[in-house]
Chains A and B, each alone.
Chain A
Amino acid sequence: MPETTTAPSLAPPSTPTRRRTTSNGAALAQKYGAGALLVGLCVYNAVFTPNFLTAQTLLDVQLRQAAPVAIVALGMALVIAVAGIDLSVGSVMAIAGQVGALTLLSGAGPVAAIFAALLAAAVCGAFNGALIVRYSVQPIIATLILFVAGRGIAQMLTGGQLQGFSDPTFQFIGLGRFLGIPFPVVLMVVIGAVLWFVVRYTGYGRTLLATGGNESAARLSGIRVGRVKLVAYVTCSTLAGLVSLAVISITSASDANNVGLGIELDAIAAVAVSGTPLSGGRISVIGTVVGAVMLRLLQNTLIARGVSREVAQMVTGAVIVLALFLQRRTH
């Protein structure tokens, strides 16, 4: 795929002169690997894709499609910051979606539905967190439990039936607009901004990074590391629950088999391309959003170009490797 190789440092330096001219771009790409790839993709699309630089394409297609993964990835970034991982986000979405749809169908109204769904998601997060904090189960194993069992639970809630509903107010979450901007995109921006603030300015942000960076030192400094981790897992699950509401509101139906399917890996990939190591102690809020948008745009671009799904998946994998390689030296 020559068209994906728009990042300046990609061309192998064939001559010394060439090397010198690329070194500046390479330095930038190193610092903002995912961002550089995103810019490259945008430039490519601006040139070759008709109507790419229109509000409709950018907001309604690209950003709106990226928003669900980006929001889940933000929760994932919190969990990864405390040296954890959450494989259960997709299954938690299925559960929360079913709970939301059932509440709506019971006639309790959209607000109650939202609360019920978020509560169900938060309980899932508390379950994950409790296993990890109290029983010292490794995060990948602990969250694997709900990853496996969650969809079963979601199915059982409704006896395996697709839950269709019709509620124009509820549909706002997925289809509405705020100041002309699709509501999921608004959610992504607001949640991103809040998280950025939390990480930068709050006591919780400090304890989060301290716990992930050196748990023993954090505990010896009086930080309640168990609570810090628990909050991260509950937040991650709750954000997944929020995203499930957007997803089911678009289709006006909750399908326990498909809601959030495979989203955990997209979310982890978005965090990873932002250059955040899975070993914890670091978080990049903006990088995570950029990573999620970049990966979405990449897939859309490839598919729009008529590249087969299989090849698109391979290219996505290659781009993740590339983004990590670009950023490797800065750490």
Chain B
Amino acid sequence: MVEAPLLEMRAIHKSFAGVPALAGVDFHVAPGEIRALVGQNGAGKSTLIKVLTGVHRRDAGTVLFEGHEVDFTSTQAAQDAGVATIYQEVNLVPYRSVAENVCIGRAPRRFGLLDWKTINADAQNRLAELGVKVDVTRPLMEYPIATQQMTAIARALSFDARLVIMDEPTSSLAEAEVTVLLDAIRRLRDSGVAVVFVSHRLDELYAVCDSITVLRDGSTVADASIAELSKYELVSTMLGRSLTESERTGRHAGGIRATDAPTVLQATNLRRAPVLNGSTLDIKKGEIVGLAGLLGSGRSETARVLFGADKITDGEIRMSGTAVNFASPRDAIRARIGYCSEDRKADGLIPDLSVRENLTLALLPKLTRRGIVNRKRQTQIVDEFIGRLGIKLASPDQKIRELSGGNQQKVLLARWLCTKPDLLILDEPTRGIDVGAKQEIQSLVSDLADDGLSVLFISSELEEIITSCDRVMVLRDGQTVHELDGSAITEEAMLHAMAEGTSTIEPIDGGQLHA
């Protein structure tokens, strides 16, 4: 691996509407090298890949490919030069045969007609090289995603790709499929192809990669051989935490909190393919329990199954001791659970409706008498929560999309608080909002818990977890691996659990991937 790099990117800059996404990224990969590209959400991974593959144009910086300076103006140009990208969502043609998908766009012809014999044989060979045996004449959609990804790889190779970028290829695969995919990636490397591998699963990175580049806030913060960087160092570099940072204490460190409060929620060994693999947690009355973990560790997935938005395939959920099985969020709401989703825009806001309607959406059944909304009562509630949460707006009849992010989030919080829940699930409640609103929301949640509300608090900011939570469950690869209480909640402890999976809870399944 001392070869000259196949690809070298130097001091890449890229801004969107004045907001820098990449601020001087250096990146390189050599033939026969598998390089991991890792970083938190918003670190710049996707932007970097898009700059490389011609989706975005860089603002500044140099890209050398095979020693020549290049500037791909389209994905087609990048592909012609030998750069192939394989996404998590396979973008092939599901209705056509595997063989056609391998050959789309460059199918061999004889006398102007497609030469099916050659097409099929060629596809069969290329897939066999990757260790896949399938009937290439069957439609692609009949095969599992893993096979579809193999088809995408075979397609990339049929274009003589010199560099293959794999953007979270394993995130929707089962473990056995992951093993096959990782094998195929190794074969690619052995044939001299350079591979960029993006994944959030640390074990996979350590199983297959030779080297690693870590991005944070649009800059390269680490570039090392995989052997030189421990998982713990990797995670702390990713999250930007230094090992020497002094310990902080939790919300109620010192045992002010009553430990004999009744348990509101007890979830045991929750499973749902492909992410959840034994998520376990419990929350007492008036307690704020944090859910920490890297991206893809199953935090939001846990929240969704608790709320009845997705179904578990195994495990048990108990509310105040009674086993529950919610068929829909409606059931969960009836059982007095509220859920502020991670993605405000996709799962929270009804953009064209007013603040009034958005705020009272979950309360609607209780506001309606004989089908008609009790507008007086609605106004009372809306005014009450606008005041209590300090929501800044011109009028409650204003469309919610006109509000700032922080105020939108407060309206969504109010949507659940007005239903008077026993348990509130907050998934990244302070992401993307200004510092002032962030602190207001944090202290509001703390006050609510003091008044007896139980909160499940999901955040990717460790500092926020430490200051907000009474107790923390750490998830890793869909499994609860660690529990921290009170003053034991430190960045170091959480980082260790995320990185190594040091478990205090009995491991439920031994079928984990190991490097």
Q: Point out residues on A near B: beta carbons under 8 Å.
A: 201-204, 206-207, 209-210, 213-214, 216-224, 281-282
B372 surroundings in chain A (CB, below 8 A): 201-203
Tell whether A221 pairs with B309 under 8 Å between CB atoms, given A201-B373, A213-B351, A216-B347. no
Tell whether A281 pairs with B352 under 8 Å between CB atoms, given A203-B372, A203-B373, A224-B330. yes
Closest A residue to B415 using CB positions: A221
B351 surroundings in chain A (CB, below 8 A): 213-214, 281
**Is B353 interfacial (CB-CB < 8 Å)?**
yes
Q: Is the beta-carbon distance between A214 and B349 smaller than 8 angstroms?
A: yes
What is the bound-complex CA distance between A216 and B328, given in angstroms? 12
Q: Known pairs A202-B368, A222-B364. 20 more at Cβ < 8 A?
A: A202-B371, A202-B372, A203-B371, A203-B373, A206-B357, A207-B364, A209-B350, A210-B357, A213-B350, A213-B352, A218-B350, A221-B361, A222-B329, A222-B333, A222-B362, A223-B330, A223-B364, A224-B328, A224-B330, A281-B352
16 A-B pairs with CB atoms under 8 Å apart are A203-B371, A203-B373, A206-B364, A209-B353, A210-B350, A214-B347, A214-B349, A214-B351, A217-B346, A217-B348, A220-B339, A221-B415, A222-B329, A224-B330, A281-B351, A281-B352
Closest B residue to A277 using CB positions: B352
Tell whether A203 pairs with B329 under 8 Å between CB atoms, given A221-B362, A281-B350, A281-B352. no
Which residues of chain B in 324-363 are interfacial with respect to chain A, using CB atoms and an 8 Å cutoff? 328-330, 333-334, 339, 341, 346-353, 357, 361-362
Tell whether A282 pairs with B352 under 8 Å between CB atoms, given A216-B346, A219-B309, A220-B309. yes
B361 surroundings in chain A (CB, below 8 A): 206, 210, 217-218, 221, 223
User: Chain A's interface: helix, strand, loop or mixed, by majority?
Assistant: helix
Tell whether A214 pairs with B350 under 8 Å between CB atoms, given A201-B375, A219-B309, A219-B328. yes
B378 CB, min distance to chain A CBs, angstroms: 10
User: Chain B's interface: helix, strand, loop or mixed, by majority?
Assistant: mixed
B371 surroundings in chain A (CB, below 8 A): 202-204
**Is B367 interfacial (CB-CB < 8 Å)?**
yes
B347 surroundings in chain A (CB, below 8 A): 214, 216-217, 220
Tell whether A203 pairs with B352 under 8 Å between CB atoms, given A221-B361, A221-B415, A223-B361. no
B341 CB, min distance to chain A CBs, angstroms: 6
Closest A residue to B360 using CB positions: A206
A218 surroundings in chain B (CB, below 8 A): 350, 361
What is the bound-complex CA distance between A187 and B328, given in angstroms? 39
Closest B residue to A220 using CB positions: B329
Closest B residue to A201 using CB positions: B372
Q: What are the interface flags for B241-280 relative to A under an 8 Å C-beta threshold, 1 for contact and 0 otherwise?
A: 0000000000000000000000000000000000000000
**Is B112 interfacial (CB-CB < 8 Å)?**
no
A327 CB, min distance to chain B CBs, angstroms: 15
A216 surroundings in chain B (CB, below 8 A): 346-347
**Is B365 interfacial (CB-CB < 8 Å)?**
yes
What is the bound-complex CA distance between A213 and B346, given in angstroms? 10
B349 surroundings in chain A (CB, below 8 A): 214, 217
Closest A residue to B332 using CB positions: A222
What is the bound-complex CA distance between A204 and B330, given in angstroms? 16
B481 CB, min distance to chain A CBs, angstroms: 28
Q: Is the beta-carbon distance between A222 and B350 smaller than 8 angstroms?
A: no
B350 surroundings in chain A (CB, below 8 A): 209-210, 213-214, 217-218, 281
The 3 tightest CB contacts between A and B, nearest first, are A203-B368, A213-B350, A222-B333
What is the bound-complex CA distance between A216 and B353, given in angstroms? 15
B403 CB, min distance to chain A CBs, angstroms: 15
Most chain B CB neighbours (cut-off 10 Å) among A204, A206, A207: A206
Q: Is the beta-carbon distance between A209 and B309 smaller than 8 angstroms?
A: no
A294 CB, min distance to chain B CBs, angstroms: 24
B346 surroundings in chain A (CB, below 8 A): 214, 216-217
A44 CB, min distance to chain B CBs, angstroms: 34
B362 surroundings in chain A (CB, below 8 A): 221-222
Q: Is the beta-carbon distance between A210 and B353 smaller than 8 angstroms?
A: yes
A199 CB, min distance to chain B CBs, angstroms: 11
B310 CB, min distance to chain A CBs, angstroms: 11
B328 surroundings in chain A (CB, below 8 A): 219, 222, 224
A71 CB, min distance to chain B CBs, angstroms: 22
A220 surroundings in chain B (CB, below 8 A): 307, 309, 329, 339, 341, 347-348
What is the bound-complex CA distance between A222 and B433, given in angstroms? 26
What is the bound-complex CA distance between A141 and B361, given in angstroms? 31
What is the bound-complex CA distance between A213 and B399, given in angstroms? 12
What is the bound-complex CA distance between A209 and B309, given in angstroms? 21
B442 CB, min distance to chain A CBs, angstroms: 23
B365 surroundings in chain A (CB, below 8 A): 203, 222
A213 surroundings in chain B (CB, below 8 A): 350-353
Q: What are the interface flags for B146-166 relative to A under an 8 Å C-beta threshold, 1 for contact and 0 otherwise?
A: 000000000000000000000
What is the bound-complex CA distance between A126 and B139, given in angstroms? 34
Closest A residue to B307 using CB positions: A220
B301 CB, min distance to chain A CBs, angstroms: 14
What is the bound-complex CA distance between A220 and B345, given in angstroms? 13
B217 CB, min distance to chain A CBs, angstroms: 30
Closest A residue to B367 using CB positions: A203
What is the bound-complex CA distance between A105 and B465, given in angstroms? 75
B348 surroundings in chain A (CB, below 8 A): 214, 217, 220
**Of the residues A206, A209, A219, contact of B373 by C-beta under 8 Å:** A206
**Of the residues B329, B367, B415, contact of A219 by C-beta under 8 Å:** B329
A210 surroundings in chain B (CB, below 8 A): 350, 353, 357, 361
B339 surroundings in chain A (CB, below 8 A): 220
A224 surroundings in chain B (CB, below 8 A): 328, 330
A107 CB, min distance to chain B CBs, angstroms: 38
B332 CB, min distance to chain A CBs, angstroms: 8
Most chain A CB neighbours (cut-off 10 Å) among B330, B334, B339: B330
A281 surroundings in chain B (CB, below 8 A): 350-353
B333 surroundings in chain A (CB, below 8 A): 221-222
Q: What are the interface flags for B182-206 relative to A under an 8 Å C-beta threshold, 1 for contact and 0 otherwise?
A: 0000000000000000000000000
What is the bound-complex CA distance between A214 and B415, given in angstroms? 15
A282 surroundings in chain B (CB, below 8 A): 352
Closest A residue to B304 using CB positions: A220
B444 CB, min distance to chain A CBs, angstroms: 20
Q: Is the beta-carbon distance between A209 and B364 smaller than 8 angstroms?
A: no
A222 surroundings in chain B (CB, below 8 A): 328-330, 333-334, 362, 364-365
A200 CB, min distance to chain B CBs, angstroms: 9
A223 CB, min distance to chain B CBs, angstroms: 7
Q: What are the interface flags for B303-315 relative to A under an 8 Å C-beta threshold, 1 for contact and 0 otherwise?
A: 0000101000000
What is the bound-complex CA distance between A209 and B353, given in angstroms? 8
Most chain B CB neighbours (cut-off 10 Å) among A206, A214, A220, A222: A220
